[in-house]
């Protein structure tokens, strides 16, 4: 006969094969994320190389076209010299027309300034209809000023120490070609961005399907042994030879396992959200947690919210998030330290912030970027799933935000949960 319940400390031990498998799975999850960033960088590099190639090629084209245009203007200069020095006055218009046509092929705007500094010939300059001579002169002078900045003039030797000058600017085609690579680059970047969005949203959807399937299957598999355990509890209870406190202890654990199973099955379905008194839920849950972790961890809750402040919550899932963050905090402080939870509503933001600050070892900037990736863990037996799930629960189901507000090596870390506040009437 057992007179006294044996003092047993339930200890959770994983079979060595299970540990090995868990480590493999964790590594493969982490690898998936490394691969993802590899593809991101590879696509970025290809885009960069294409852009450099395109810029280089267009630059060559621009250079060549610029040289051709300069030759055309020189031809124009030659033509003018020929015309001005021609003894055959009657042929002036015919020759001038031939030269103009040649330059017109490239549509290069050009102005001839004679030896007395008068701009008396021009080509490819458009004027509005019905324009006064003064207005026309003003436009020519403006264009001339721009051309002087653009290219050095081409001299037209007229003999007897007389020199005129032709000023010109790039043709419309050349100007467009200069901007073309930037246009091309923007289009390419835009297409790259769209492709990346499509790619990553498809990956996310796939990951979500895997999570949901895994969680549902786990909940389903746990169902049968749980009901069998419940039956065993009843059996122990009915046997007067067995200390009733054993049945009680086992029942507590079974209830806890049932709660975990419910949480897992909740992951699959769209959880129902209810208006809940958030400060009360947090305070009660911290109270519950405090009793279950080492007495060397001191918890404190500072509530700055109005008592009637509610938030749309799924209580079960939300408590799970708090539990995960606090468990990590306890791990980070090696079981000794403080956890401060502050609830506040920033003015004009319709949000409720729940800050969970610990006095643990903190984390490096590099790790801070990875902690929400599935499979990332710095713990010997960590799965690297706690924060991933917590983030999904807050961001996908509660449309809130979960992030590291601050962290300092050796000092501690603060996580912030930001939720949408319901309006207080
Ligand atoms: N409060 C904290 N202080 C310092 N580091 C932290 C803190 N919380 C999380 N981390 C880091 O983030 C990592 C990922 O945390 P996460 O909860 O996702 O996984 P885990 O705790 O390692 O494993 P598990 O899946 O069992 O939760 C941790 O391994 C730890 O390095
Ligand atoms: Mg964790």
Whether 257 and 279 map to the same domain: the answer is no
Q: What percent of the chain has pLDDT over 70?
A: 86
Same domain, 265 and 319: no
Say if residue 100 is in the same domain as residue 146.
yes
User: Looking at the predicted structure, is the pLDDT value of residue 271 above 90?
Assistant: no
Residues 249 and 387 reside in one and the same domain: no
pLDDT of residue 411: 96
> Given this model, what pLDDT does residue 200 score?
82
Nearest to 372 by CA among 388, 394, 356: 388
How high is the mean pLDDT of the chain? 84
Q: How far apart are the CA of 419 and the centre of ligand 1, in A?
A: 22
Task: With a cut of 80, say whether residue 100 has pLDDT above it.
Answer: no
Ligand 2 centroid, distance to 398 Cα (angstroms): 20
CA R_g for the chain: 39
Of residues 57 and 99, the one with the higher pLDDT is 57
Q: Kindly report the protein residue whose alpha carbon is nearest to atom 19 of ligand 1.
A: 384
Residue 147's pLDDT is 92
pLDDT tier at 55 (50, 70, 90 boundaries)? Answer: confident
pLDDT of residue 205: 83
Residue 425 domain-assigned?
no
Could you tell me which residues are beta bridge partners of residue 358? 339
293 and 262, same structural domain?
no
Q: Which of 6-10, 86-90, 97-101, 140-144 has the highest mean pLDDT?
A: 140-144
Indicate which CATH number applies to the domain containing 96. 3.30.450
* Distance between Cα 391 and ligand 1 center (Å): 12
Please report the pLDDT score of residue 278 as a whole number.
94
Residues 249 and 148 in one domain: no
Please report which ligand is nearest the Cα atom of 379.
1
- Is the domain of 309 the same as that of 262? no
Give nearest CA residue, ligand 1 atom 1: 329
Question: Of the residues 328, 336, 392, which should be mutated to test ligand 1's pocket, given the most ligand atoms within 8 Å of the CB?
Answer: 328
**Which DSSP category does 89 fall into?**
G
Q: What is the pLDDT of residue 28?
A: 62
Average the pLDDT over each of 136-140, 180-184, 278-282, 343-347 and give the range with the smallest value. Answer: 180-184
Instruction: Select from 269, 289, 324 the last residue of a domain.
Output: 269
Rounded to 10 degrees, what is the CA torsion of 95, 98, 103, 109?
Answer: 60
Return the percentage of the chain with pLDDT > 90, whole number: 32
Q: 148 and 205: one domain?
A: no
The number of helices, as runs of H, and strands, as runs of E, in the chain is: 9, 11
Question: Using one digit for the tens of pLDDT, what is the confidence trace for 155-210?
Answer: 888 777 888 898 999 888 888 888 887 888 888 888 888 888 888 888 888 877 88
**Most confident of the ranges 60-74, 76-90, 252-266, 338-352:** 338-352
Mean pLDDT within 346-351: 85
Query: Comparing C-alpha atoms, which of 289, 324, 317, 327 is closest to residue 400?
Result: 317
Q: Of 199, 256, 200, nearest to 226 (Cα)?
A: 256
Q: Read off the CATH number of the domain in which 355 is found.
A: 3.30.565.10
Q: Domain check: are 310 and 382 in the same one?
A: yes
Q: What is the pLDDT of residues 281-305, one digit of tens each?
A: 999 999 999 988 999 999 999 999 9
User: pLDDT at residue 6 above 60?
Assistant: no
Q: Is residue 221 part of a domain?
A: yes
Give the position, in ligand 1's atom list, of the atom nearest the Cα of 358.
1
Which of 371, 414, 417 to probe ligand 1 with, by most ligand atoms within 8 A of CB?
Answer: 371
Residue 41 lies in a domain: no
Residue 179 lies in a domain: no
Domain that holds residue 240: 197-269
Ligand 1 pocket, Cβ-based, cut-off 6 angstroms: 324, 328-329, 332, 358, 360-363, 371, 376-379, 382-388, 413
Distance from the alpha carbon of residue 386 to the mean position of ligand 1, in angstroms: 7
Q: How far is the CA of 109 from the centre of ligand 1 (A)?
A: 68
User: 310 pLDDT exceeds 60?
Assistant: yes
Our count of domains for the chain comes to 3
Domain closes at, from 240, 269, 298: 269
Asked, for residue 43, whether it belongs to a domain, the answer is no
Give the tens place of pLDDT for each residue, 357-392. Answer: 999 999 999 999 999 988 899 998 888 889 998 998
Select from 355, 373, 382 the residue to mutate for testing ligand 1; criterion: most ligand atoms less than 8 Å from CB: 382
- Domain stop point among 216, 243, 269: 269
On whether both 398 and 285 belong to a single domain, the answer is yes
Lowest mean pLDDT among 86-100, 240-254, 255-269, 401-415: 86-100
- Res. 22 pLDDT band, cuts 50 70 90: low
Q: Considering only CA atoms, which residue is closest to atom 7 of ligand 1?
A: 328
Residue 77 lies in a domain: yes
Spatial distance between the Cα atoms of 120 and 106, rounded to a whole number of angstroms: 21
Note the pLDDT of residue 275: 93
Same domain, 286 and 375: yes
Both 334 and 410 in one domain: the answer is yes
Whether residue 243 lies inside any domain: the answer is yes
Sign of the dihedral defined by the CA atoms of residues 333, 337, 339, 340, in that order: negative
Orientation of helix 278-290 relative to helix 315-332, angle to 10°: 50
In a domain, 42, yes or no: no
pLDDT computed for residue 179 by the predictor: 84
């Amino acid at each position: 006969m057992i007179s006294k319940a044996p003092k047993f400390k339930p200890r959770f031990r994983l079979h060595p094969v299970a540990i090995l498998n868990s480590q493999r799975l964790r590594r493969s999850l982490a690898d998936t994320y490394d691969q993802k960033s590899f593809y991101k960088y590879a696509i970025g590099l290809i885009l960069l190389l294409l852009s450099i190639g395109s810029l280089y090629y267009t630059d060559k084209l621009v250079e060549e076209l610029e040289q051709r245009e300069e030759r055309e203007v020189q031809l124009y200069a030659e033509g003018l010299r020929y015309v001005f020095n021609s003894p055959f006055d009657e042929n002036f218009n015919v020759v001038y027309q031939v030269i103009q046509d040649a330059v017109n092929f490239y549509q290069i705007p050009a102005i001839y300034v004679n030896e007395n500094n008068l701009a008396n010939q021009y080509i490819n300059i458009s004027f509005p209809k019905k324009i006064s001579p003064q207005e026309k002169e003003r436009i020519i002078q403006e264009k001339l000023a721009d051309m002087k900045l653009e290219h050095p003039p081409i001299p037209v030797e007229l003999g007897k120490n007389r020199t005129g000058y032709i000023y010109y600017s790039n043709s419309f085609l050349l100007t467009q070609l200069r901007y073309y690579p930037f246009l091309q680059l923007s289009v390419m970047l835009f297409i790259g961005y769209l492709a990346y969005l499509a790619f990553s949203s498809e990956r996310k959807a796939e990951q979500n399907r895997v999570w949901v399937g895994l969680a549902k299957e786990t909940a389903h598999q746990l169902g049968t042994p749980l009901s069998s355990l419940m039956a065993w509890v009843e059996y122990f209870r009915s046997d007067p030879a067995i200390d009733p406190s054993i049945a009680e202890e086992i029942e507590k654990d079974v209830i806890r396992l049932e709660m975990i199973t419910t949480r897992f099955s909740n992951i699959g379905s769209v959880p129902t959200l209810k208006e809940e008194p958030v400060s009360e839920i947090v305070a009660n849950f911290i109270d519950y947690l405090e009793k279950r972790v080492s007495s060397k961890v001191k918890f404190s809750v500072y509530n700055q919210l109005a008592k009637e402040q509610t938030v749309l919550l799924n209580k079960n899932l939300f408590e799970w998030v708090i539990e995960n963050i606090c468990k990590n905090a306890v791990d980070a402080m090696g079981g000794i330290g403080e956890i401060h939870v502050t609830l506040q509503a920033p003015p004009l933001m319709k949000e409720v912030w729940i800050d969970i600050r610990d006095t643990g070892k903190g984390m490096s900037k590099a790790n801070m970027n990875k902690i929400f990736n599935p499979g990332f863990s710095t713990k010997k037996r960590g799965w690297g799933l706690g924060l991933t799930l917590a983030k999904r629960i807050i961001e996908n189901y509660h449309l809130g935000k979960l992030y590291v507000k601050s962290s300092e090596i050796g000092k501690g870390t603060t996580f912030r949960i930001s939720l949408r506040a319901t309006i207080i009437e």
